Chain A
Amino acid sequence: MRWKQLELTGWGRVRRAPTLAARLERSGEFSTLFGGHLPKGLSIFGAGRSYGDSALNSQGHLCLTERLDRILSFDPDSGLIEVEPGVTFRRLLDVFLPLGWLVPVTPGTSFASIGGAVAHDVHGKNHESAGSFGQHVGEIELITGDGSRHRLNPAAHPEWFRATCGGCGLTGLITRIAFKMSRVPSAHVAVTERRLENLDAFLQAFEDTREASYSVGWIDALASGPALGRGILEMANPAPDAGYASTPAKAPSVPINFPARSINRLSVKAFNEFYFHRIPKQPRNRTESYGKFLYPLDAIAHWNRVYGKAGFHQFQCVVPYTDGAKALQHLLETIAASGAASFLSVIKRLGPGRAGYLSFPMPGYTLAVDFPNRAGTEALYRALCGIVLDHGGRIYLAKDALLSPEAFARMYPELPEFRRVLAEIDPDAHFGSDIARRLKIRASA
């Protein structure tokens, strides 16, 4: 197995990491990577859809799993499926939705890999009812730094399992993941869109629609004053009679990097104004495919290029429901005053479901906002992190590139447990990454 010099980035394209990368064609090859001397601090890179530096390894070694992309078994009676880590949500959607099966939990892009979904214990627009991805996983096969294979299940190996789910790939190479698919009555959902004039109305609407299977809010993060927190709430439920046929559309692509200043206050304001008024005052209903509803941005390939070469940061936090409205207001005021927000900021409700020590979810509101990477962005991001900390919330590691180790330790109270178990799984620090170094995930801060 040869190492290839690559420069890899996260989806936000802010961090660029020169790396020596190996690409596995079959998981059995991983042992030949060692040749008796596995490089220290190896990181695992899946589909490259984490925004920050969680899969990167500057000046280090890295292992690509994109070609470990096979579906290994599927039981049509129970929905139990076993896949290799490089299988994407897109492939599972294409193969199984026509058969009436859907992944129980999915992130907002179908191009993410299942291995990455475990490593970040991802959540979706149904987190309150369905929990996190890791909660649906029955078994993980893990190759640890000494080359040994382990089959982890949550009952028999709770600690290793909890360290691996949400563990940012630090426990080892995940080679198989078994989980249960969900039955769906059709390939479509019935969607209701509601326009909401301010934050209070938004949160009340969330409250009123808690029985919906999926709910997600788009928020105009540039709006201020009485319009602060205005946006559109989308709720969706299975559409039983809509059938399984769907017409796959060819995705348009952003062909080139946009010039640096094309995302500015004016263009974003104009876009948000249009997007908000697109929905009439009265709620609007439509039926659309799961693919379109779950992955709206996947319709535009390479959408991250609109932020130009400098890239962007996605700030995603969760703040507890207690005082949540106040926290959101404070965050949105700070964001609106900066004028730095971009379009398509997202707000969702989260429940308590989490599968790992370093999982992101907690009961509360989650807010995700994109900021073009410019002078002042880091200071704004840190100010927002301060607000999140004050309210007992946390930042999502799959998105982050800027958090400090001190803030991280305060946001993730189970970090000491994670460190204790990681020291047992990988005592020689065979696995590592830029995020692990930056946040001092392994060492005591």
Chain B
Amino acid sequence: MTATDTWILLGASSPIARALARNLAGPGRHIVLAGRDSEDLEATAADLRIASGASAEAFAFDAADFPSHSAAAQHWAERGGRLNAVLLFSSMPEQDAIDSDPSLARNCIDVTYGGAVSILHHLAPYWEARKAGTVIAIGSVAGDRGRLKNYVYGSAKAGLHTYLQGLRNRLARSGVHVLTAKLGFVDTSLTWGAPGIFLAASPDAVARKCLAAAAKRRNVCYIPLFWLPIMTVIRLIPEAIFKRLRI
């Protein structure tokens, strides 16, 4: 296979991943749709091939299956060319569900944080060797402060944000860019019909903004941008007051 620009979408069944794939697909690009629902990913791959003429493939990948990550990373690196990845997967059980069944916390952390660190860490040496590439990691405003409503998920994302800071520091030396895209509400099945959701961004708008931010080599961005002032205020509230709030 000739060397092309490869984009690996990790957690590719989400609507944001589908929108990203459609925005990325084009001549000279190879799209890898990595995720658990192979049948669904095959359908998306076919859509990309037909609609854009891009090359696209589905790849069975489970973020929580750590031992499989080494082989997956090696497999993708074998393609040669420029290697890029978008980290999209996470596990977000309702906080109430975790509170009544604490064992759910483990999977949330294993996927959202552990799985992310594991696969990116397996890919990092290839990026260093190749001295090129882009990493876009989907973070969350939930990681900016621990809150009553989603602090297990939020803490996993906070861990991811910190990991990405370090990874950025490491890969910058090799000319590889790492973008942390902190998302607010996105119009997906996670927010559909959930209470307290406002101004949910469309998956396509989020995808375009992620790619634009990566093209500008931004390090951290909030999507939509209005979450930046909101989270700045939320971060600044002193803990003595914050602990009594329900936001």
Q: Is B a genuine binding partner of A?
A: yes
Contact between B39 and A28, CB atoms less than 8 A apart: yes
Q: How far is the CA of A74 from the CA of B43 in the complex (A)?
A: 12
Query: Which one of B119-127, B185-193, B223-231, B239-247 is at the A interface?
Result: B185-193
Given the complex, which residues of A lie within 8 Å of B3, measured CB to CB? none
Q: How far is the CA of A28 from the CA of B42 in the complex (A)?
A: 13
Q: What's the nearest-Cβ distance from chain B to residue A420, in Å?
A: 35
Contact between A72 and B13, CB atoms less than 8 A apart: no
Smallest CB gap from B187: residue in A:
A23
Q: How far is the CA of A70 from the CA of B37 in the complex (A)?
A: 15
Smallest CB gap from A4: residue in B:
B193
Smallest CB gap from B14: residue in A:
A25
Is A437 positioned at the interface, with any CB of B under 8 Å from its CB? no
Is A245 positioned at the interface, with any CB of B under 8 Å from its CB? no
- A25 in complex: contacting residue of B39, B46, B189, CB < 8 Å: B189
Q: Chain B 5-23 against A: per-residue CB contact (8 Å), 1 yes, 0 no? A: 0000000010100000000
Number of interface residues of B (CB under 8 A): 16
Interface of B is mostly: helix
Is A205 positioned at the interface, with any CB of B under 8 Å from its CB? no
- A2 in complex: contacting residue of B15, B40, B47, B194, CB < 8 Å: B194
- A26 in complex: contacting residue of B13, B193, B194, CB < 8 Å: B13
Q: What's the nearest-Cβ distance from chain A to residue B100, in Å?
A: 18
Q: How far is the CA of A70 from the CA of B44 in the complex (A)?
A: 7
Q: How far is the CA of A440 from the CA of B34 in the complex (A)?
A: 48
Given the complex, which residues of B lie within 8 Å of A91, measured CB to CB? 51
Contact between A95 and B15, CB atoms less than 8 A apart: no
Q: How far is the CA of A73 from the CA of B47 in the complex (A)?
A: 7
Interface of A is mostly: mixed
Contact between A70 and B43, CB atoms less than 8 A apart: yes
Q: How far is the CA of A29 from the CA of B188 in the complex (A)?
A: 13
Contact between B189 and A23, CB atoms less than 8 A apart: yes
Q: What's the nearest-Cβ distance from chain B to residue A390, in Å?
A: 48
Q: How far is the CA of A73 from the CA of B44 in the complex (A)?
A: 10
Given the complex, which residues of A lie within 8 Å of B43, measured CB to CB? 70, 72, 84
Q: List 20 A-B contacts (CB under 8 A).
A: A1-B189, A2-B192, A2-B193, A4-B192, A4-B193, A5-B193, A22-B192, A23-B192, A26-B13, A26-B37, A26-B40, A67-B15, A70-B46, A71-B46, A71-B51, A73-B50, A74-B50, A91-B51, A95-B50, A95-B51
B residues bordering A, Cβ < 8 Å? Answer: 13, 15, 37, 39-40, 43-44, 46-47, 50-51, 188-189, 192-194
14 new A-B contacts at CB < 8 Å, known A70-B47, A72-B43: A23-B189, A23-B192, A25-B189, A26-B13, A26-B40, A28-B37, A70-B43, A71-B46, A71-B51, A72-B46, A73-B46, A91-B51, A95-B50, A95-B51
A residues bordering B, Cβ < 8 Å? Answer: 1-5, 22-23, 25-26, 28-29, 67, 70-74, 84, 91, 95
